[in-house]
Amino acid sequence: MNTKKVVIVGGVAGGASVAARARRLSETAEIIIIQRGRFVSFANCGLPFHISGEIKEKESLLIQTPEGLKNRFNLDVRTESEVISIDREKQEVSILNAKTNEVYTESYDDLVLSPGAAPIIPPLPGITNEGIFTLRVIRDMDAIMGWNDKVHPQNAVVIGGGFIGLEMVEQLARLGMNVSLVEAQPQVLPPIDPDMAMWLQHQLKEQGIDVRLNDRVVKFADATKDAKAAVVCLESGEKLNADLVILSIGVQPETGLAKDAGLKIGELGGIRVNQQMRTEDPHIWAVGDAIEVKHPITQDWARLPLAGPANRQGRIAANNIMGRPTNYRGTWGTAVVRVFDLTAASTGLNEKQLIESGISYESVHIHPYSHVTYYPGAAMLEIKLLFSPDDGTIYGAQIIGSDSVERRLDVIATAIQGGLNVDDLAQLELSYAPPYGAPKDPVNLAGMAARNVVKGDMEISQWHDVDKMTDDCLLLDVRDKLEYEDYRIPHAINIPLDELRGRLNELPNDKKIIVQCLSGHRSYFAYRMLRLYGFSVSNMTGGIRSWQAMHPEVTSQTLVMPRCLKHVSHFDISANKKIKYSIQLSGELPIGSDEDHHITRLVTADGDAVLTLEKV
């Protein structure tokens, strides 16, 4: 009979998971949860969505109450209580009851630390002004909603373009506010690479968000009649009037209790634990946002505060406490966020992390559709896959689009964690029906593109290689002539793919040829042809679509188009819907309208497009 006494510091994802799993393994163990706030188990990831009313009922965010946990799991839950010290020698904790101001001690056989992380609040002048908020717990959400009801903000400033920051931008815009986003780094969503983040930045601007990158807040000036919260003063000298300010610049692990107890704190500021979630003290365990674990790819210490890993860590800790040896496999950092009409998801390492870890890597970009284009509603995906050029080990992936992004990313995340390589990815058997995918799923296509590189069947160039071209290189555009005339990368020459065999004499033998099309698909065919004819050649992965994402100052509106457009004189990227003058089309055209017609249907047969038009 297991009569252990387990004391858990903190609830929410990690601590509550420990308690529930421990009870399922033992009916006789005494399990106590000490929670500093009023709520022991709540969905903090859902807080932004209740602020806008997208999640209507606050009660739906409360996963469990102390009474519910007592009734279902026989847990002793003590809210509004705080563990203020640990006596490791006596195996006791001192607890402050905030309601009575009483301090008492509680012994333990096993102690689990799940203190979470606190929002970073920099010591800037004016940061304590009314109307400046962080969002981490229910209390924060209530304060923001109370402020909104009181002052009815028109202008909001969100500081920080990470996951929560982007979610708050969207939700405040849903409430009708004019929103500015301030990010100190040169891109939003730092876990993904800059050439993928650009798609989100385009989306934010299209939605009317004032995006300020590479700039930081230096102070908050006092509120005025035009700024009910503060005047946000930026390093660039710009000033933003704000009726509401949301600070979302990251979190720091709450490790004060662990530090005071002499537990090991890592260089990243988290509590160091082993694969069993045990600290250096055999009777103390730690889970959630406050810990550091070994990254499964680099084997370096990492701190990745995510809800999914916290839940799994809680289960692992409970297993080990209750005598079921179990190892935590690590945190890959799989995450997803919605940004208005787009979804962005990532897993594994990005380019910056790979470079910092000294890992040799290669990357491919592809732009497939979410399902076959003859079925209505296909949406283009932006996929980036990072892998070992030597053996095809998958290091990471990033996907952005408006349909099925998370499903495709989750397949790749599973492949990474299962030790599959790019060849395995290419051969995965995935479900297919016209409304859902294609015989060659986008995941398969990413694997195929990477496999071609690993096996030496394709040499690739990146979008930034084109910007560094020297006189001994030639950029060859193999799209059709009308496409080329409408939009092209500067200095590219044009020989359409279907004419290439008959015009090989126009190409120099003494230069490296970088071949490109809109997405990298047609240029791959051209690459294979030129290579077989003995030319020195590489294929620009991702094509113009990847290049133009990083060149907004060069790119005209007509350049940002689906690959299906063979020729369109004007295309409105802002809505991705309006076509003013269409001449010839190839492939699938998104449902949309021109000045006189509404495009209701398109059928593709052998590359020819058949449009059904209705008068507006």
Give pLDDT tens digits for 523-565.
Answer: 999 999 999 999 999 999 999 999 988 887 654 333 333 333 3
Q: How confident is the model over 586-593, as a mean pLDDT?
A: 41
Q: pTM of the prediction?
A: 0.88
Residue % of the chain over a pLDDT of 70:
89
Q: Is the pLDDT of residue 258 over 90?
A: yes
Q: How confident is the model over 120-149, as a mean pLDDT?
A: 95
pLDDT tens per residue across span 477-519 = 999 999 998 888 989 999 999 999 999 999 999 999 999 999 9
Q: Name the 3-class secondary structure at 5.
A: strand
**According to the model, what pLDDT value does residue 1 have?**
61
Distance (Å, whole) CA 190 – CA 183: 10
Q: Is the pLDDT of residue 29 over 80?
A: yes
pLDDT tens per residue across span 351-360 = 999 999 999 9
Q: How confident is the model over 254-261, as a mean pLDDT?
A: 96
Residue % of the chain over a pLDDT of 90:
82
Q: Tell me the pLDDT of the chain averaged across its residues.
A: 89
Residue type, 337: V
Decide if 473 is catalytic. Answer: no
Distance (Å, whole) CA 109 – CA 283: 7
Question: In 295-357, where do the E strands start and end?
Answer: 301-302, 335-339, 342-348
Render the burial of 476-513: b for 16+ CB within 10 Å, e for the rest: bbbbbebbbebbbbeebebbbbeebeeeeeebeeeebb
Range with the poorest average pLDDT among 69-73, 222-226, 432-436: 69-73
**According to the model, what pLDDT value does residue 271 have?**
97
Distance (Å, whole) CA 207 – CA 181: 12
**According to the model, what pLDDT value does residue 67 have?**
84
Distance (Å, whole) CA 277 – CA 319: 10
Q: Is the pLDDT of residue 228 over 70?
A: yes
Q: Report residue 605's pLDDT band, with 50, 70 and 90 as the boundaries.
A: very low
Q: What are the angstrom distances between the C-alpha of 547 and each of 331, 405, 488?
A: 32, 21, 10
Q: Is the pLDDT of residue 586 over 70?
A: no
**According to the model, what pLDDT value does residue 62 have?**
81
Distance (Å, whole) CA 476 – CA 469: 12
Instruction: Evaluate whether 587 touches 564 at the Cβ level (below 8 Å).
Output: yes
Distance (Å, whole) CA 357 – CA 474: 33
Q: Residue 209: name the closest of 182, 242, 237 by CA.
A: 182
Q: Residue 400: name the closest of 197, 120, 157 by CA.
A: 197
Q: Which of 45, 473, 517, 564 is catalytic?
A: 45
Neighbour order of strands in the sheet with 30-34: 76-78, 30-34, 5-9, 110-113, 284-286
Range with the poorest average pLDDT among 23-32, 322-331, 445-454, 558-567: 558-567
The Cα angle at residue 373 between residues 545 and 521, in degrees rounded to 5: 40
**According to the model, what pLDDT value does residue 390 have?**
96
More confident call, 70 vs 167: 167
Q: What are the angstrom distances between the C-alpha of 607 and each of 374, 433, 459, 564?
A: 11, 21, 27, 10
**According to the model, what pLDDT value does residue 553 have?**
61
Q: Residue 421: name the closest of 438, 446, 439 by CA.
A: 446
Distance (Å, whole) CA 27 – CA 17: 16
pLDDT tens per residue across span 356-399 = 999 999 999 999 999 999 999 999 999 999 999 999 999 999 99
Instruction: Evaluate whether 423 touches 444 at the Cβ level (below 8 Å).
Output: no
Instruction: Evaluate whether 194 touches 187 at the Cβ level (below 8 Å).
Output: yes
More confident call, 251 vs 601: 251
Distance (Å, whole) CA 564 – CA 479: 11
Angle separating helix axes 442-454 and 405-417, nearest 10 degrees: 50
Range with the poorest average pLDDT among 116-130, 384-398, 421-435, 567-581: 567-581
Q: Is the pLDDT of residue 134 over 60?
A: yes
Distance (Å, whole) CA 163 – CA 200: 12
Full set of structural domains in the chain with CATH: 5-117+252-321 (3.50.50.60), 132-250 (3.50.50.60), 341-454 (3.50.50.60), 460-549 (3.40.250.10), 561-615 (no CATH)
Q: Is the pLDDT of residue 583 over 70?
A: no
Distance (Å, whole) CA 34 – CA 9: 5
**Would residue 418 be called left, alpha or beta, if left means φ above 0 and alpha means ψ between -120 and 50 degrees?**
alpha
Question: In 236-352, where do the E strands start and end?
Answer: 239-242, 244-247, 251-253, 271-272, 284-286, 291-294, 301-302, 335-339, 342-348
Q: Report residue 11's pLDDT band, with 50, 70 and 90 as the boundaries.
A: confident
Q: How confident is the model over 347-352, as a mean pLDDT?
A: 97
Rounded to a whole number of angstroms, the distance between the first and last alpha carbons of the chain is 77
What is the dihedral angle through the alpha carbons of 216, 221, 225, 226, rounded to the nearest 10 degrees? -10
Distance (Å, whole) CA 17 – CA 310: 8
